[in-house]
Structure 1
Amino acid sequence: MGTLWVVRLWGDFDAHSIHVVERVTYEMLQISVAPVVFDLRQVTFANTALLNHLIALRLRRPVGLVGADRLMRLMVEVSGAALPVFPDLAAALSALSADETPEA
């Protein structure tokens, strides 16, 4: 099994608060090419600002979601984004670490 980054989010994410996630992601992109799992179990609200960020990141490396609520799963489905939703971190690790990681 390989490795991956787990980014645990909590609270609300919209156009005014997404900058925190963008900053952390940018720092992570500078030091690693490993897949990323966003743990959304503690997210109380997320709109398309978070979804757009996840889609953009997916262009650079494999990305998965854990703990996506019904609204986030619906946004992912309607957008056609290639963002797999996993039941737990173990399933995400198993699936994403098997992917080939992109070249830096």
Structure 2
Amino acid sequence: MKEILLDKRLQTMVRDYVPSGEILDELVCFFTMFSDYTRLKIISSLAVSEMCVSDLSNLLKLNQTTVSHQLRLLKNLNAVKTVRQGKVVFYSLRSDLISEVLLKGVEYLGY
């Protein structure tokens, strides 16, 4: 292994700062919710209001099956929660932090 030029104190700080194990696994899962066009559209929509699959499908001009599939993935990532009202299931973001991360990304890009 090559010699590290960074001083020992900073080496320790880097090693302590870089996530590993379960935290790294969960971060990778968390950021996958932002890695798909359809999921980003759904997250953006749910940041405004809770919605059912039909409304999301119509508003975003997407196939209902596609929306359902992506919502299932977001639910598995613990990003959305559901409330059933009769036969209709409404989806909402589990935390405002999700939309804040999305907004930070938009801000980073300069929009």
Q: Same fold, TM exceeding 0.5?
A: no
TM-score for the superposition, normalised by structure 2 = 0.27
- Higher share in helix: 2
- Higher share in strand: 1
Query: Rg bigger for which structure?
Result: 2
- Which one scores higher on RCO, CA 8 angstroms, separation ≥ 6? 1
TM-score for the superposition, normalised by structure 1 = 0.28
